[in-house]
Amino acid sequence: MKDVVIVGAVRTSVGRFMGSLKDVPAYDLAALALNGVAKKTGIDPQMVEDVIMGQSYQNGEYVNIARMGLLTAGWPEQIPGITIDRRCCSGLDAVCNGAMKIQSNNADIVVAGGVESMSTGEFYLTGDVKWGVGGKKGMPLGHGSLATWGLPFYDRIQRARVMSQPESRYGVLPSMMAWAETAAKEEKISRQECDDWAAQSHAKALAAWEAGFFTDEIIPVSIPQRKGEPVLFCRDEGPRADSSVEKLARLKPIMGGVCTAGNSSSENDGAAAVVLMSGDKAKDLGISPMAKIISFAVAGADPRKAYETVPRAVSRALDRAGLSLEQMDLIEIQEAFAAQVLADLKQMRVRPRNFDRVNVNGSGISIGHPIACTGTRVLVSMVHEMQRRDARYGLECICGGGGLGIAAVIEQVR
């Protein structure tokens, strides 16, 4: 089986919901990431054999974002693209799928990543309301505007959380926060612990930005202005300098438990991409790899306890790598909710004294969580941090809606 290496890794800055990236279509964000990683790596896009991207909020405007993104980027039409959705796990899963193509000798170079524009998520009608839809602006019947009013519209972002599991089997799960509250209750995670974690997440992200840690991984986004020159968006909008444990403690719990808007991840926009190739191909091209993908694994659980997937996926990935959790120099656990992170760490038996290697530059609570982008965004940041610290091993793990989880072990190539 072929070795798979990461030779380039970039991301856009993460925009807050209805923030700086609210008018930038998802396919433009994808194109920026694709062109950015190709330029940084120095590869000709014609060499790419496939593009795999995650997008959790696909819709009528964003059909197969991988293909749409590469065409928007001006890449050759001969390059295929495929889009996957494993909810929050999608961005990392796209990388793992690309790795499998290379491992099995079905490709030598694959670009993988994730993109999400939650700001432009659809409001929609379900497909059983096909009457009342007429043509508009030259579009054929069935592709036009709604001519009848008073019908239910759904917010794709909010609705998808409820529809990530069948109501007939699990009842109505009003939001992903429901299982975070379950995690807090079952693992005895306090509100104080959640607020402490959230405050530290913001502090870490701000410190990383001030130290210039993210500079090399960022692809600027040009934002047109009504007047004057475009503005370059090149800094995450989420980290808050005014965040503190005292301020977080004043926020009301949303569901009556420990989770608040302050210790939970936010809705965001962004894109990230990596270039994968076989170790032999990198050697032939004279490219120095950044890291090697050692192993990965996915897991499932009761959607009402999605947090339980992280320890399961981590255990499988570590077993396949023949490594232990203690050997991981850096650990990235997606911060969907502080309660979920703390519950996962407890189940994984990571003690507070070892928290200094977990999410060292902040994560979803501070930087933000553009769903399908997150898995790749975190990988991009972790690979750069591993080089900065000369760390040997890194572990990334994420849980997602519908009771899904994923983990991957990465080794720095020295």
Residues contacting 28, CB < 8 A, separation 6+: 72
Give me the catalytic one of 88, 89, 96, 373.
Answer: 88
Helix, coil or strand: residue 72: helix
Using the structure block, give the residue that is written with the tokens 């694994």: 297
Which tokens is 351 given? 């003690």
Using the structure block, give the residue that is written with the tokens 């997606």: 334
Pick the closest to residue 113 from 25, 34, 43, 217 (CA basis). Answer: 34
Distances (CA, A) of 183 to 194, 256, 334: 12, 14, 15
Task: Output DSSP code: residue 59.
Answer: B
Task: Output DSSP code: residue 149.
Answer: -
User: Cα–chain-centroid distance for residue 330?
Assistant: 18
Pick the closest to residue 402 from 91, 157, 86, 126 (CA basis). Answer: 86
CB 24 within 8 A of CB 117: yes
CB 112 within 8 A of CB 98: yes
What DSSP letter does each residue of 322-390 carry, written as one string? Answer: T--GGG-SEEEE--SBHHHHHHHHHHTT--GGGGGGBSBTB-TTTT-B-HHHHHHHHHHHHHHHHHHHT
Helix, coil or strand: residue 397: strand
Helix, coil or strand: residue 171: coil
Q: Is 194 a catalytic residue?
A: no
Element housing 316 (H / E): helix 309-321
Q: Is 202 a catalytic residue?
A: no
Give me the catalytic one of 194, 259, 373, 399.
Answer: 399
Q: Is 89 a catalytic residue?
A: no
Give me the catalytic one of 194, 202, 369, 373.
Answer: 369
Question: Which sequence positions are flagged as catalytic?
Answer: 88, 369, 399
